[in-house]
Amino acid sequence: MFLHVKKVTYLHDYELRLEFDDGTTRVVDLVNELHGGVFEPLQNLDLFRQVYVNPNTNTIEWPNGADFAPEFLHKSGKKVRKIA
């Protein structure tokens, strides 16, 4: 099964809240992932905050073309419990 990101919300610093098509919500901190090539410009918070879900790839992306695989984001994120 392929995972897809349905929604992204910028929280603070380099943390994002992600909703996946498997019904889970996770918070991921990408501060330690922003090195090398296309990712280094994302250390600029003004650019990092411009994150969006690309409907063609079903993952998060930035205007400079940087993206992360949904499976990586799902695995590295902390699960958010839903409040009943």
CATH of the domain at 56: 3.30.2020.10
**pLDDT at residue 12 in the model:** 97
Give domain status of residue 44, yes or no.
Answer: yes
Q: What is the mean pLDDT of residues 69-76?
A: 97
Whether residue 54 is contained in a domain is answered as yes
65 in the Ramachandran plot: left (φ > 0), alpha (ψ -120 to 50) or beta?
Answer: left
Quote the tokens at residue 42: 């994302």
Q: Does the residue 59 lie in any domain?
A: yes
Number of domains in the chain: 1
Question: For the segment 7-47, what is each residue's pLDDT rounded down to a tens digit?
Answer: 999 999 999 999 999 999 999 999 999 999 999 999 999 99
Q: Which helix (H) or strand (E) holds 48?
A: helix 45-48
Instruction: Look up the domain containing 15 and give its range.
Output: 5-79
Is 84 part of a structural domain of the chain?
A: no
Assessment of whether the complete model's pTM goes beyond 0.85: yes
Q: What letter represents residue 32's amino acid?
A: N
